[in-house]
Structure 1
Amino acid sequence: MSEKSLSEAEYDAITDAAAHWCMRLHASDCTAGERQAFAQWHDADPLHAFEYAAMLEIWDVADHLPRSEPVAVVVPFKPRSRLRTYAVAAAVCLAALPLAAFTGWEAGWLPSSYEHFDAANGLRKVTLGDGSQVELNLGTELVYSNYKNQRRVTLKKGEAFFKVSHDGNHPFIVRAGEGQVRVTGTQFNVWKYEDQVRVTLLEGSVQIASDALHASVPLSPGMQASYHTGDAAPQVAVTYPNDAGLAWRQGKLVLDNLALADALPLINRYLNKPVMLADATTGTIRIGGIYNINEVNNLIPSLPKVLPVYLTQNQDGNPVLNSIPRKTPKG
């Protein structure tokens, strides 16, 4: 998005307004009148919408920070103009959270950098501020924040392969769904779809913890952990070299004789309208093949040609797979 030719004071005013609305809309006593006023402000200028979206990302990151008793707010550095990290606005948002406060960078509450990455149109490789390299699958979105005592990534959706720059004093934490991955330096893959998360470790070691589990589960190379929202503990399994689950890095989707119930989450992440199953019986039908991730849309109409299924559509416009009943032999 191109920035308008506004003065620093005008930019600050918009940022302050975005922080104010972010706080008010998250407050329990926010009124209908305030929500209407926000909508008018938000729609009045594309820059208002842009700044508010950035503020929501900061709020999302802040929501996973530790809590303590309220203390004085201190901002130990000046944010960069134009390409600033919204540090002051982050301070305003954080101070508004229940029992949330911080003493700035020195206390490990305020990030020195904040970066947003997405791969809306294709695979993408990025380098984070700490030197770590990340490969983003199609449709992936994540944010990176650097704190004094840790480096933190929030995987909002999609899949990413991490080559983490080693720093024993600053753990690297990936937040995905209702859990997190903690490392110091290693190579691993994180896949997230709806409330499902799967972590595959290639090199080094990581600790996996779900929100419902107080202790963490260690992984060694060649192991994989998965969890859903509400799981008491991640499920751990052994993988094998050249796991097909990492074929996306070459732009491929590999379905290795999977039941449709297991294959659809892998397929749906590439679709605007996810495919649904008519019933559990349909979910047991198996599918295999290698597909280009940019052409997964073409896979769905072709399924009735290779599987005993037919397509319908539900009231929300989603394609629905239905199994074709087997004919009972006459006898």
Structure 2
Amino acid sequence: MTDNSLSQAQYDAITDAAAHWCMRLHAIDCTAQERQAFEEWREAHPLHAFEYEAMLEIWEVAGDLPRPHLIETVVPFKPASSWRHVGIAAAVCALALPLAAYAGWNMGWLPNAYQHFEASDNVRQVTLSDGSEVELNLGSELTFSNYKDQRKVTLKKGEAFFSVSHDTSHPFIVRAADGRIRVTGTKFNVWMYEDQVRVNLIEGSVLVSSNNDLAGDGLRLGPAMQARFKHGDFTPQISQTYANDNSLAWRSGKLVLDNLALNDALPLINRYLSKPVMVADHSTGTIRLGGIYNIKELNNLVASLPRVLPVYLTRNKEGNPVLNSIPQQPPKS
């Protein structure tokens, strides 16, 4: 977003202000008065909110920067326009320490490329700055940062198929929920819903960990293998995938449910819905569902479930659809 009525100096001043507010709002001593002043600043011009959101994105990228007491030498520098967001936000995340861009890159603290991608209503194919190809499912979002010693992707939500360019000295790491997937060059799919993650390997090999805080790179997957984990899992669950596995049907716009219990099918469906479908109780969750569905029409599926399953729909107080099993009538004597 740009405003042609602003001069470069005015635009830079807004960016600097956004960096200041990003730092202050994340500080433990930020006051209520400051927060009110920030809200007034953000509402004063559409570009203010846009620049602040950009700073929040970069905040995650620079989250691994060392704290100031680890830095002995500081080299002041004026970032170029293409580095402005990364340079300022890096300084913000290091508590306003003005790290030099070249030093940050050489030490592995700052990326030399940052990309953000979203897919809303259509499957989207994108190319990362390292040449890797990514296909994003509906409602998916990820960021990519290219560091000197690694390439880092954060899958914020949704699902993505990766075809990673090979570079043994420059590993490719995907973070999803609490876990990570480490590769050097391969093809694999990552599905995420809430705190659940599923990794399917197509070719090559990957190392999967269910906890970013654990030492080591995790368990190794070979082709036609799958890893699953959720929040709190110490290690991923590893299994073999079948020849007719349909987990990648989304790339053709389809969701294939192979006679799954609703407890297993609903996370796959809910990924596409603004209001997730719930089950009323355990017995309802054991009812099985199959079929092939268009991923753009899954809202219609929810409304049709009472016509194909022994269930009826209600809504909870949050407005979520709730599936309730229809009690079976006892046989007449």
TM-score normalised by L of structure 2: 0.92
State how far apart, in whole Å, the 1-side matches of 2:22 and 2:271 are.
Answer: 29
In structure 2, the residue matched to 1:218 is: 220
Which deviates the most, 143-152 or 64-73? 64-73
Q: Give structure 2 stretches of 5+ with no counterpart.
A: none
The amino acid across from 1:48 in the alignment is H
Contact preservation (8 Å) 2:59, 2:90: no
Superposed CA deviations along residues 47-84 of structure 1, whole A, max 9, x for unmatched, are 11111111111112223567795214557884335xx5
Residue 93 of structure 1 deviates from its aligned partner by: 2.3
SS of 1:214's equivalent?
coil
- Show structure 1 runs of 4+ deviating over 6 A: none
State how 1:247-286 maps to structure 2 within 5 Å: 247-286=249-288
Q: Give structure 1 stretches of 5+ with no counterpart.
A: none
Distance 1:280 1:316, change over 3 A: same
SS of 2:263's equivalent?
helix
Distance 1:195 1:75, change over 3 A: farther
Superposed CA deviations along residues 218-262 of structure 1, whole A, max 9, x for unmatched, are 111111111111111111111123421110000001111111011
State how far apart, in whole Å, the 1-side matches of 2:94 and 2:228 are.
Answer: 34
In structure 2, the residue matched to 1:141 is: 141
Which deviates the most, 212-221 or 48-57? 212-221
SS of 1:321's equivalent?
strand
Contact preservation (8 Å) 1:74, 1:104: no
Superposed CA deviations along residues 145-180 of structure 1, whole A, max 9, x for unmatched, are 111111111100000000001111111111111011
The amino acid across from 2:127 in the alignment is T
Residue 96 of structure 1 deviates from its aligned partner by: 2.1
Whether 1:18 aligns to 2:12 is no
In structure 1, the residue matched to 2:86 is: 87
Distance 1:75 1:270, change over 3 A: farther
State how far apart, in whole Å, the 2-side matches of 1:85 and 1:259 are.
Answer: 50
Contact preservation (8 Å) 2:201, 2:224: yes
Contact preservation (8 Å) 2:276, 2:320: yes
Residue 320 of structure 1 deviates from its aligned partner by: 0.8
Contact preservation (8 Å) 1:225, 1:235: yes
Whether 1:328 aligns to 2:330 is yes
Whether 1:237 aligns to 2:236 is no
In structure 2, the residue matched to 1:116 is: 116
Residue 85 of structure 1 deviates from its aligned partner by: 6.0
Superposed CA deviations along residues 194-238 of structure 1, whole A, max 9, x for unmatched, are 111111111111111122532311111111111111111111111
SS of 1:63's equivalent?
helix
Residue 19 of structure 1 deviates from its aligned partner by: 1.4
Which deviates the most, 158-167 or 1-10? 1-10
Q: Taking every aligned residue pair, what percent have the same amino acid on both sides?
A: 65
In structure 2, the residue matched to 1:205 is: 205
Distance 1:11 1:221, change over 3 A: same
SS of 2:190's equivalent?
strand
State how far apart, in whole Å, the 2-side matches of 1:188 and 1:75 are.
Answer: 42
Contact preservation (8 Å) 2:62, 2:90: no
State how 1:177-188 maps to structure 2 within 5 Å: 177-188=177-188
Distance 1:76 1:164, change over 3 A: farther
SS of 1:316's equivalent?
coil
In structure 2, the residue matched to 1:57 is: 57
Matched positions, count? 328
Distance 1:212 1:279, change over 3 A: farther
Distance 1:251 1:64, change over 3 A: farther
Contact preservation (8 Å) 1:67, 1:101: no
Contact preservation (8 Å) 2:67, 2:94: no
Contact preservation (8 Å) 1:204, 1:220: yes
Residue 31 of structure 1 deviates from its aligned partner by: 1.3
In structure 2, the residue matched to 1:310 is: 312
